[in-house]
Structure 1
Amino acid sequence: MSAPPAALPAATPAPPTKATAALPGTGVARLLGRRAARVPRPLGRVLASAGTVFLLSSVLTFGLGALSDANPAAAVLGETATPADIVRMDHAFGLDRPLPAQFASWLAHALGGDLGRSWFTTLPVSDSIATALPVDLSIAGLALLLAVLLGAAGGIAAALSNGGRLDRAVTAICSVLGTLPAFVIAIALIVLVSVRLRLLPSGGYVPFGQDPGQWLRFALLPALALSLDAAAGIARQLRTSLVAALRENYVTGATMRGLSGRRVLFGQVLRNAAGPAVTVLGMNVPILIGGAVVTERIFNLPGIAQLSLRAAEQHDVPVIQGTLLVTVAVVLVANLAVVAGVLALNPAARRAGSARRGRLAAGAR
């Protein structure tokens, strides 16, 4: 009887070569695929749409300036501009080139931080925006903080008093605040707080780095005027989400296990119900930027809105284009931050992303 044949040794995989490493699905391709799979699908969609919106916005922003009848020589020299002056200044600003070449050069320089120079002051537009933008960012940041604090307090109080007097009072106040424009609230705050009570100044601005205390005194009223509408929206949305979340089975189970109501509310319920309120907050970012145009004029703030208004009055096209592009970029970054915040607060979105990564990894194997 012959012995059974010996088992063949397992074949060892050949080391990857340059040819196999370059094949799809191997080497760098697999590494890039794994890194791309780590990006949650909602965030990836927002990134793609943000890039598309930014490109379209840049085309519209440049097109509005290119199609306008504004001319640097006519704007600066006025009626004394000769045809030779116009030709010379058009060449100096690159306006004698075809529009596609002008747009490509402008966008390439803008992505590098160079937004051109003002037709009137000849100062770099990026320097003017860098001086004015911190004013808006500091006011908007304080307004967002006030909106979150006031909105969260109102929404939680209304949800815990569901159907009670406090709930009805918060709902009525939010309904009134949601109908008032920011400039009406700003004027009312100036009359009440600055003129009658003499607690805060009615205008002016001090940089935060120069004196944080004085910055807060000057920034509090405009930030409060901008924040009340957003706070009302957050309170209404958070109240609705909390009332629904407090009726879930996991809340009853946590209470039966002996967890305190405060721990259940702030440890589980609030985190699950905060997603829609965060979305409302993100939707109010463009409203805050739009409201800053009027608010800056009322409180005499040297922000980007005043910069763009002066540029519009002077037909200073490079400044107008730069402020519009930067404003669009700020709004898109804020939307990305909101999506990231919703993903961080929403466990279901993270589980969906994890499941998708698992399916991709299984398919790669």
Structure 2
Amino acid sequence: MSIARKAGRGVLVMLLVTFALVVLMASAPGSVAEVILGENATPKNVAALDSQLGLDKPVVEQYADWLAHAVRGDLGTSPLTGQPVGGAIADRIPVTLELTVLAVLISLVLAVLFAVLCAARPGSLLDRALTAVSSVFLSVPAFIAGPVLIYFLSVRLGWFPVMGWTPVEEGLGANLRSALLPALSIAMVEVAAFHRLLRTDLITTLGEDFVDAARARGMSGTYVMFRHAFRPSSLSLVTMVGLSLGRLVGATAVAESLFSLPGLGQLLITSIGTRDVIMVQGMVAFTGVVCVAVNTLADIGYGVVDPRVRRVAAA
């Protein structure tokens, strides 16, 4: 029931966000009709095209029309390009999905490594050094990390291409070379957030009585860390990974623009600039559904990580 309530709240948030988006886009100066007709468009021609596209209707009526089609899986067709929104998302989702997955994997690997090393000897020189590194990561957003990484790893060292995208079909190695640098720029902030959270939880868990009992039985520090302390300490990390999706969407949009990648983020930014309300609205709705699904899976994952959650839910 808890999962159903969370999903219901997610749907409500998605409806509110998409409606607010329509209101904001309608309140901004200009319209997609002016973009289509160009600089020499007359007010009469703009008004005629607005009427043809249904943009002269009240905002509530526009939203109701869109929602009626959206619940049937039809997110509409871009009046600017004539491309169905669903088709545009399907064409670009592989790029964004690969960047997101790579960013999460890089974040988790580095964060778990940092956290385990720090929690094993809290207060040590290594702990202080890694915590300082994560603090630097936390203070460097993707729009700053991207150009810095491009300069050092692409321009100076030549390890990665400066920009552009190579599909998997053209070779996995070339694909990863084009994807790793933008994924790393996205992952830096997440590494810091994940590391700090897991480090704190591990240190707390390692001070529990059941951990002391395991040590008293002669178990090695590595065995105690990963067999007894890691699973109960990673519950908050599972939550954080689910909640980080919203940040990743924004960071991915920035990275795709910086590295000229044909993903959803670049399409979203372009569509906002051209006032393509239908495209923007469909992409926001799609992102909302993904966020709700990921957070629901995170809720289910609690029980896998910590069996105590399953017993509480069943009680």
TM-score by length of 1: 0.79
- Structure 2, unpaired ranges of 5+: none
Asked whether the 8 Å contact 1:135–1:303 carries over to 2, the reply is: yes
Indicate if the aligned counterparts of 1:65 and 1:321 stay in contact, CA closer than 8 A: no
Secondary structure of the residue aligned to 2:168 is: coil
Alignment check: 8 A CA contact 1:118 1:125 kept: yes
Alignment partner, residue 130 of structure 1: 90
Higher mean C-alpha deviation, range 217-226 or range 333-342: 333-342
Q: What secondary structure, in the 3-state scheme, does the structure 2 residue paired with 1:180 have?
A: coil
AA aligned to 1:83 is K
1:83 aligns with 2:58: no
CA-to-aligned-CA distance 1:281-321 (integer Å, 9 cap, x gap): 23322222112232112211111222122222222221222
* 2:119 counterpart residue number: 159
Amino acid at match of 1:152: V
Does residue 341 of the first structure (1) align with residue 278 of the second (2)? Answer: no
Aligned partner of 1:280 in structure 2 is 240
Q: Secondary structure at the match of 1:44?
A: helix
What residue is the counterpart of 1:104 in the other structure?
Answer: 64
Report the counterpart of residue 57 of structure 1 in structure 2.
17
Q: Report the counterpart of residue 192 of structure 2 in structure 1.
A: 232
Aligned to 2:252: 292
Alignment of 1:67-78 (within 5 A): 67-78=27-38
Partner Cα separation in structure 2 for residue 191 and residue 83 of structure 1: 50
CA contact (8 A) 2:7 2:292 kept: no
Q: Which residue of 1 aligns with 2:211?
A: 251
Aligned to 1:205: 165
Question: RMSD of the alignment, in Å?
Answer: 2.2
CA contact (8 A) 2:138 2:189 kept: yes
Q: Is residue 11–residue 289 contact of structure 2 (8 Å, CA) maintained in 1? A: no
Alignment match, 2:106: 146
User: What is the match of residue 30 of structure 1?
Assistant: none
Deviates more, 1:255-264 or 1:344-353: 255-264
Relative to structure 1, the CA distance from residue 65 to residue 262 in structure 2 (aligned partners, 3 Å threshold; closer, same or farther) is: same
1:35-65, Cα deviation, whole Å (9 max, x unpaired): xxxx5x3x23322221221221222223334
Alpha-carbon distance between aligned partners in 2 of 1:265 and 1:154, rounded to the nearest angstrom? 13
Q: State how 1:177-192 maps to structure 2 within 5 Å.
A: 177-192=137-152
Q: Which has the larger radius of gyration?
A: 1
Between 1:234-243 and 1:105-114, the stretch displaced more is: 105-114
Kept in 2: contact 1:61–1:325 (CA 8 A): no
AA matched with 2:21: T
CA distance in 1 between partners of 2:132 and 2:256 (Å) = 29
**Equivalent pair of 1:70/1:317 in contact (CA under 8 Å):** no
Deviations 1:72-116 (A, max 9, x none): 5433224445737743x4454334555444322211322333222
**Residues 111 and 138 (structure 1), Cα distance of their counterparts in 2 relative to 1, 3 Å cut:** farther
| CA distance in 2: counterparts of 1:102 and 1:136, whole angstroms | 29
Give the distance between the partners of 1:196 and 1:74, measured in 2 at CA.
44
Q: Do the aligned partners of residues 85 and 244 (structure 1) sit closer, same or farther apart at CA in structure 2, a change above 3 Å counting?
A: closer
Gaps of 5+ in 1: 1-38, 356-365
- The structure-2 alpha-carbon separation of the partners of 1:314 and 1:72, relative to structure 1 and needing over 3 Å to count, comes to closer
Residue 314 of structure 1 is matched in structure 2 by 274
Tell me the percent identity.
35
Q: Is the 8 A contact 1:74 1:86 kept in 2?
A: no
Verify the 8 A CA contact 1:73 1:81 in the aligned structure 2. no
